[in-house]
Amino acid sequence: MIAQLAPATAAQLDAADPLAAFRQEFHLPPGPDGQPCAYFCGNSLGLQPKTARAAVEQEFEAWERFGVEGHFQAPSFWMNYHDTLTEAAARVVGALPIEVVVMNSLTVNLHLLLVSFYRPTGSRYRILMEGGAFPSDQYAIESQARLHGLDPAEAIVELVPRPGEYTLRTADIEAKIAELGDSLATILIGGVNYYTGQAFDMAAITRAGHAVGALVGFDLAHAAGNLEMHLHDWDVDFACWCSYKYLNSGPGGTSGAFVHERFAHRPDLVRLAGWWGHDPSERFQMKKGFRPMPGAAGWQLSNAQIFPMAIHRASLELVDRAGGMAALRRKSKQLTAHLETLVRALALPSTQLEIITPADPAQRGCQLSVLVHQRGRELFDYLAAQGIIADWREPNVIRLAPVPLYNSFGDVQRVGEALARFFSEQLVVNS
């Protein structure tokens, strides 16, 4: 069981890793022994970039020096601050700059987009989502259905895996879309399911949705900064994401939204309007009559959240310096595969431990969800005592996310060795 856990392998992989130096760009929390922990919780909250503090301090200094005139005189020019994030954010999700805006928080953006892209009629009123979606998505969609006078139990259709399986098959998703046909108004699915770590085939889902006349959107909370995406080329209608997970922009960090270019010049689209989405040439004339800016920026409500956006800009700069999502994804696949190898090397029966994340790298990001049938919470606490920060999800799943910007193969090695020790000790206790 221990043979494949040789530390030399991890050391060799780290020595050959072109992104290894980026680990030094982040603050690693200390473990119980005071040494840096092995942090595997980036799918919940990413680590703090060392450049974040200076980025925010620059805006504090501008506020101190200029007051309201910081909107025009601050080095970062607050008036158009969100524009400084657009191109980098668009690169993260594979979009054109006109299709992306950074604003608000995730669920706020989800509601704003659903107002425009879930427009049920008497016959086309259903909305399709994955069963077991993150609760915020469930609550948002339920409330949107009620907003239109619909019964959520009738309007919402949930995709569930086949009996005995933990994840959804693309063919089954496509079949359900075809079955719903003309009754389907909107599809909203997470790019990566938060619980299982399954990455969905967004291109295939979008094609299937459009084939029946439905609009297709994605919650990319667990996909942005994790997967290499091409939202424009995939023809996705709308999407939104947070920045505090794989994009390392701080707790409650600002969010992103995508609206396909085909809607860029559609002022007739129903939306909730605010002054920051209004034509900037007339914004300060304070007149009635909303005239939306072209593109995703026309969904803005209020002026930029300067301080969280400063952190986000610092984080996006790191992504670009690392070579963008293609480079991060290459390392992500290697890290996650190495973790999978070590877990499988334990040779434990499925009645004790199972990986419920797909084995196919194309169907997962940098996350493995491990279903622990016996003493799961005890194992989670054991890992924490070893300086390994993972994530516990009821009733018995441990999520481990090896993030390419700051996790090393040595970190993965620590997890493998800790798991081996735990289960070896259990064998001794039970013998």
- pLDDT tens digit string along 378-393? 999 999 999 999 999 9
Residues 138, 255, single domain; the answer is: yes
The reply to whether 48 falls in a domain is: no
Q: Residue 427: what pLDDT? A: 54
45-81 pLDDT, tens digit per residue, is 999 999 999 999 999 999 999 999 999 999 999 999 9
Residues 72, 203, single domain; the answer is: yes
How many whole angstroms separate alpha carbon 46 and alpha carbon 330? 19
Residues 31, 92, single domain; the answer is: no
Residues 313, 331, single domain; the answer is: no
Averaged pLDDT for residues 272-300: 94
Q: Would you place residue 431 in the very low, low, confident or very high pLDDT band (cuts 50, 70, 90)?
A: very low
303-351 pLDDT, tens digit per residue, is 999 999 999 999 999 999 999 999 999 999 999 999 999 999 999 999 9
* Type of residue found at 50: K
Residue 367 has pLDDT above 50, yes or no: yes
How many whole angstroms separate alpha carbon 28 and alpha carbon 38? 8
Residues 161, 21, single domain; the answer is: no
Compute CA distances 307 → 46, 54, 62, whole Å: 17, 11, 11
**Alpha helical stretches, state H, 67-200:** 70-73, 83-93, 106-117, 135-147, 152-155, 170-180
243-271 pLDDT, tens digit per residue, is 999 999 999 999 999 999 999 999 999 99
Q: Would you place residue 117 in the very low, low, confident or very high pLDDT band (cuts 50, 70, 90)?
A: very high
| Residue that is last in its domain, among 271, 292, 320 | 320
How many whole angstroms separate alpha carbon 364 and alpha carbon 200? 8
pLDDT, averaged across the chain: 95
Global pTM? 0.96
Q: Which two tokens stand for residue 281?
A: 């040439």
Residue 9 has pLDDT above 90, yes or no: no
The reply to whether 49 falls in a domain is: no
Q: Residue 58: what pLDDT? A: 97
Residues 68, 205, single domain; the answer is: yes
Per DSSP, which regions of 271-396 are E strands? 353-355, 368-372, 388-389, 391-393
CB–CB of 134/194 below 8 Å? yes
Q: What is the CATH number of the domain that holds 18?
A: 3.90.1150.10
Domain that holds residue 172: 55-320
Residues 64, 187, single domain; the answer is: yes
CA atoms within a 13 Å half-sphere pointing along the CA-CB vector of 134: 22
Residues 185, 162, single domain; the answer is: yes
174-217 pLDDT, tens digit per residue, is 999 999 999 999 999 999 999 999 999 999 999 999 999 999 99
